[in-house]
Amino acid sequence: RKEVEQDPGPFNVPEGATVAFNCTYSNSASQSFFWYRQDCRKEPKLLMSVYSSGNEDGRFTAQLNRASQYISLLIRDSKLSDSATYLCVVAIRDNYGQNFVFGPGTRLSVLP
Amino acid sequence: DVKVTQSSRYLVKRTGEKVFLECVQDMDHENMFWYRQDPGLGLRLIYFSYDVKMKEKGDIPEGYSVSREKKERFSLILESASTNQTSMYLCASSLKIGTGTYEQYFGPGTRLTVT
């Protein structure tokens, strides 16, 4: 079983739609959680950290369920510019420092 | 604003050549990482470093080595490039404070082609 799994995608949605991405992780000792977005042929960029209480940033809402080892990202009122691959990232601190594990990503295409 | 720079955006090398990929960050981050990203395989960790002169193997270190002589600079070395090392190489850095974990910041990537 992979350490971090995401919806396989791709998701093709019309502008204005609401879309939700799911992510599960296997290591119960995971400490920090993030969503990154990656545009085609570009580097991943931090979209938002995910906090235990859930957090919102404009049209984006992230949720964390530690008991179920599940993270989600909700995008409301999708824009064309939201088209990208969304990476779920889980981090754990070990003896050597930080270990970041990336999910395979879910590709989103927002259509006009 | 955190800035992570990589020495080249595109690089073409021949099989057997020694290749150096340089990464520099300007935010005094302790941790630095090298990944490669291939279609269908996602990001895979090659090596990381949590301090000057310290290095640890990631998931796929074979065929690579690294050097961290200064805090801001982390170099990836392909001792003898092979065609299966054709890939996008991404450098990242992050803070290390106490027992916490902090987000990574990525450089723009180096697309390496080995012919």
Who wins on pLDDT, B98 or B78?
A: B78
> What pLDDT band is residue A8 in, cutting at 50, 70 and 90?
confident
B109: chain A residues, CB-CB within 8 Å: 42-43
Q: Test B42 with A104 for CB contact under 8 angstroms.
A: yes
Percentages helix, strand, coil for chain A, rounded to the nearest 5?
5, 60, 40
* Residue A32 near residue B101, CB atoms below 8 Å: yes
List the one residue out of B3, B62, B69 whose CA is nearest residue B36: B62
pLDDT at residue A36 above 90? Answer: yes
- Average of pLDDT values for A84-91? 95
Mean pLDDT of chain A: 92
Residue A29: its pLDDT value, please? Answer: 86
A41: chain B residues, CB-CB within 8 Å: 111
- Average of pLDDT values for A46-67? 93
- Average of pLDDT values for B98-107? 80
Using the Cβ of B105 and the Cβ atoms of chain A, whether some distance falls under 8 Å is answered with yes
pLDDT tens for each residue of B42-57: 899 999 998 899 999 9
A·B CB contacts under 8 A: 56
Residue A10: its pLDDT value, please? Answer: 94
Among A32, A87, A96, beta carbon nearest to B101: A32
